[in-house]
A and B are shown apart, each in its own frame.
Chain A
Amino acid sequence: MALSGMRGLSVFISDIRNCQNKEQERLRVDKELGNVRTRFKNEKGLTPYEKKKYVWKMLYIYMLGYDVDFGHMEAVSLISAPKYPEKQVALQSIGTTNMVGYIVTSSLLNENHDFLRLAINTVRNDIIGRNETFQCLALTMVGNIGGREFAESLAPDVQKLLISSSCRPLVRKKAALCLLRLFRKNPDVVNVDGWSDRMAQLLDERDLGVLTSSMSLLVALVSNNHEAYWSCLPKCVKTLERLARNQDIPQEYTYYGIPSPWLQVSVCVCVCNFLLSVISHTFRKRKNEILREVKTMRALQYFPTVEDPNTRRSLFEVLQRILMGTDVVKNVNKNNASHAVLFEALALVMHLDAENEMMSQCVALLGKFIAVREPNIRYLGLENMTRMLMVTDVHDIIKRHQAQIITSLKDPDISIRRRALDLLYGMCDVSNAKDIVEELLQYLSTADFAMREELSLKAAILAEKFAPDLSWYVDVILQLIDKAGDFVSDDIWFRVVQFVTNNEDLQPYAAAKAREYLDKPAIHETMVKVSAYLLGEYSHLLARRPGCSPKEIFSAIHEKLPTVSTTTIPILLSTYAKILMHTQPPDPELQKHVWAIFSKYESCIDVEIQQRAIEYFALSSKGAALMDILAEMPKFPERQSALIKKAEVAEVDTAEQSAIKLRAQQHMTNALVVTDQHSSNGTPQSVGQLSLVKIPSISGDVGSSCQEHTSADQELSQANGTLATVDPQPPSADLLGDLLGPLAIEGLPGAAVLSEPNAVSGLEGVPIPADDAAAIVPVEKDTNSVQPIGNINERFYALCLKDSGVLYEDPNIQIGIKAEWRAQHGRLVLFLGNKNTFPLLSVQALILPPVHLKIELSLVPETIPPRAQVQCPLEVMNLHPSRDVAVLDFSYKCGTSMANVKLRLPAVLNKFLQPITVSAEEFFPQWRSLSGPPLKLQEVVRGVRPLSLIDMANIFTSFQLTVCQGLDPNPNNLIASTTFYSETIRPMLCLIRIETDPTDRTQLRITVASGDPTLTFELMEFIKEQLAGIPTAPRPPAPPAAPGAQPTNPAAPVAQPTNPAALTDPGDLLAGLL
């Protein structure tokens, strides 16, 4: 057939095959390309057969890796070559022409190619035509490279084919995957009413080809909108049962006795997607991120479960069957196929809220797998253990296999070694860090080059995070540099220098270690750098030890100078200058020697070296001034470990990336804790005093987006003298504050903080904690009774009017909140800040939502590490009008005491309002058309707080009601309008009229009108509550902030910037005054 007749093509292929080298091949290809190009130029003379032949040649050449930049049009034109389907005889020769066109087009072109658009009509005609062959070809091409335009014009036709009863399975299976492509290009084309029912029907399909493709389609649909397809879940389970029990499976679909393992795998993935997408849909996250959250979700019992008891039972039964019934057999193919299903079932069990027994069965199986001889199974065992670690709490059981995993680190296969490394990295915690890190170090000297960089980075991160003590950390890093200097990036040694600089206790130890390494005969240049730096700074601390006189240290370092590159020489010069400075009384001989070196480098071609040499020379002849200039380096402000950042950016595979992020998010870096204690112990003052100055510095952690503001903030507080007077050791306080840096995980959107300078200046430079930015405030002495700080009610009311602030605070924790509202949707972030030096345990946050709100809270970690702040996003959707308030049930264990508070969340009615201005022409007809109850309600209210009209207008503005000036002829009346957003009713205009009596300000007549009776009622009640019952009068609005200040809610008047609210907030005031 196609090629058998194409002699020219066969000849070309064998010519290529006979080429002795790449050069010959290129020549032959160039020749052929020239030939094809000329033939295409005078296209008139080409028969379909020739065209076909040349197009195949092009594909072949392209496959060999040569660019084919012409002839695309010819390939596309083959698609629309004339068809004579009625002539059976012609089917072969002409039919395959189209076939070649379709296949070559999908290989050569991508979806954005212009030529493809030209074919769209032909393709559509083929799809809706009656010829199965063409239908399949067209569906396949669209399924492979169809773009958005195809999605929009073809989706209905493809859907029709998929569910058509007259279509044969061979067309329908392609239609399913074609639709999948179109859906990915534009999800809207499939989200039509009733499609989920159709999908459920499709799952009853007997033909396994159609079922296989439909399952792939369903996997994608479910990830996008699990709710709509929930009815498919029982059918999936049924399908899995049918396969696992081998019921009614045609022989052709059993593979070595296993009923279509691919379909079984696909069904497991689909069920798993149902469970995961509940989370993903709510938070729109990528799968890996979701996986990380599953663990916490389960702890909170938010984990979605299969609710229907029958389905649930069947699913458990069939999974149990797969877990227990998979035996190792001799036949490799059968073994692989059954284990493919087994591993997928394992993954599903991990994500199911399965009984513990099943989970431990899984771990037991994995433990068995990682020790078997068969390398594939070993690899998968390790991989799945790592996955399991991420989603469930199986640390302890997995630790039992630590020895075996460490053995795998020495496996002959790099794929397996990588998995083992990843697993060790994931399972490392304080208890086993020493063992694991030392194992990694040992392995480092024999590890292959491809892994060394990753290995040293991971060892460095683990050492930093889980160091039982800091001297161990220094040991590890120095060993790391010693063993794999080439693979130790600068970040790693910068980091160790930072730690040593910031920890006085560590300095003599580190200096002594550095000195030891210098005695080794050949050391890596990085070691020279780090040793020189450390000895320059701290060698004077060693002065009395043998071999540590300034002179001896100098010569030990200077010995290395000939071996280092120009990047290290400047460091050495600084070290010399520092040694010189520390040598008291001055040693003239040493001085002479060093000066000689300086003057030697004064003419160095490297500018950096030259400059340092000249400057140090000049400085060191000045005597006393040298002391000031070369004084000990100040402590480093702490930031997120550059290593962790790097590890996140580094091109590592996703599983391992997420393991790193998991670490970054869920574990407090232990080394930081150690440092933390060190500095607070090391400083003479009490913790309480220290805390006083932390406030301004903490706001430095808000995130890079607001650095400018931060520095301004700090300047401000410094100018005010707060830092200088209160704290004798600002750097250490700074360190403490900054240590919290990495924990303010994502930083806030810049917009949130923009309003802060106002707040600060409004309070005449008294530093206030940026309450929405860093919810960590002074540490109090630990008390057992947990009393809230500040008035919870007042905090709540303040938050009803603004979008960020403190919701709750007690001596242990501060809960800050930041919200963004858009129509009926809201996104809140809870900032849970642990104020203590010890972790808060058993943290639980549950939302008790009223019926009208749909609220989903994401991960709340069980433990909040010391002085850490975690952010928990919260998605709110307003279903219908109601004044009910959502409650956050928050509890934690702190030491022995258990604290529990129920906090109202400021997701109140007015958050779903958006101001709207109406003109008189719009207002009056509307007002009149809403003629009376229940759409228009009127009520006279007595005993309200007396308010001037201006105050009342301000209150209204703060609730997102637009006060319409001049609409009411009576100046004592007030008219306001707003739009209410909810999921169930369309955006609704609401009109409000307040009539006041100038002689008696305590009584009002309120009229509320809207197109929805419930809304009218609720709004009326809401306004009554607000006018009658607010405990503190909101201050008159400040001049509106700059338009960009709240870009998320452009229409919202910034009636209540944070300053007045902060003033009314006793907690903040207190903190500010401190």
Chain B
Amino acid sequence: MAFTLYSLIQAAILCVNAVAVLHEERFLSKIGWGVDQSVGGFGDEPGIKVQLMNLVRSVRTVMRGGCPLHVYTNWLV
């Protein structure tokens, strides 16, 4: 499997696009992955699911703030 750097960039863009496409209200809350459902543990062990949800939300926030992709995500929101 001969990887090039370009295929890595392609894979990264597709992953970021996948994170952008998962809409907060329409989809993630339905399957129990919404951010309002993550205020569980107050201790120091948040758990994998909470970490993943935080990661998804922070990636989406960074994308809304900075790069030209924010036009696309605003259309989804």
Is this pair of chains taken from one and the same complex?
no
Q: Which residues of B contact A (CB under 8 A)?
A: none
